[in-house]
Amino acid sequence: MEAIWEGFREAIRLIATGDPELREIALRTVVVSGSATLLAMMVGVPTGYALARGRFPGRTLALGVVNTGMGVPPVVAGLVVWLLLVRSGPFGEMELIYTKRAMVIAQFLISLPLVVGFTTAAVQALPRELPDLLAVLGAGRLRTLWLIAREAQIGILAAVIAGFGSVISEVGASMTVGGNLRGETRVLTTAIVTETSRGQNANAMALGLLLTWVQQRRVR
């Protein structure tokens, strides 16, 4: 118990003094996970709306794929991206493996099904007559989409929060495609694993506190 307390105090000191490496890792984490979530939102929100309101062949299959994707372990998504980006893979010539861009791609694939699924549920919860009512009132297509998005804003916000939370806290995919390279691809989760394996309890706890703080900010 004393070792835990000492590690906690040292972690507070490292955070309070603005340790450069901690700050760099935290910033990289937010940039990578934030970029992946932004891309997932740009693709997932319109897709979720289309699945909720559209009636087209293959819709049931698409919903099944989304639901399946929501339950895929992050490390499996990382493995798929690794197989695609590794030098012997179909996109190996792009030299993306073990880079921040590869991590963004993997995290995008992890968060996308969550954003689509939550958005679909939020839009489906609205009255089906709402688009027709807005059209009768003179709202154009873009105006209608905007008003529906406002009505479903809580659900869409939950979708974005869920997407961001799923990627900022995962470790398997980031380590698989990013390689956990110091100064390049190391993020909070992979750094915690590294520092713990080295017995650097203070650094691990400092990183854990930072990760917890970032997640709490996400919820708020």
Task: Please tell me the distance from the alpha carbon of residue 60 to that of residue 90, in angstroms, as a whole number.
Answer: 30
Q: What is the pLDDT of residue 7?
A: 67
Q: What is the pLDDT of residue 76?
A: 94
Residue written as tokens 């030299």? 95
Q: What is the pLDDT of residue 141?
A: 65
Q: What is the pLDDT of residue 134?
A: 67
The dihedral of CA 70, 73, 74, 78: what is its sign? negative
Q: How far is CA 64 from CA 123, 133, 150, in A?
A: 17, 30, 27
SS (H, E, C) the chain: CHHHHHHHHHHHHHHHCCCHHHHHHHHHHHHHHHHHHHHHHHHHHHHHHHHHHCCCCCHHHHHHHHHHHHCCCHHHHHHHHHHHHCCCCCCHHHCCCCCHHHHHHHHHHHHHHHHHHHHHHHHHCCCCCHHHHHHHCCCCHHHHHHHHHHHCHHHHHHHHHHHHHHHHCCCHHHHHHHCCCCCCCCCHHHHHHHHHHCCCHHHHHHHHHHHHHHHHHHHC
Q: Please report the domains of the chain, with CATH numbers, ordered by start residue.
A: 2-219 (1.10.3720.10)
Q: What is the pLDDT of residue 3?
A: 59
Q: What is the pLDDT of residue 79?
A: 95
Q: What is the pTM of this model?
A: 0.88
Beta-carbon count within 10 A of 67 CB? 13
Q: Going residue by residue through the chain (220 aa), what tens digit of pLDDT does each one get?
A: 665 676 677 777 777 777 788 889 989 999 999 999 999 999 999 999 889 888 889 889 999 999 999 999 999 999 999 999 999 999 999 999 999 999 999 999 999 999 999 999 988 887 776 666 666 666 666 766 777 777 778 888 899 999 999 999 999 999 999 999 988 999 999 999 998 888 887 778 888 888 887 776 654 5
Q: What is the pLDDT of residue 1?
A: 61
With both helix axes pointing from N to C terminus, report the angle between 100-124 and 153-168 in degrees, rounded to the nearest 10: 150
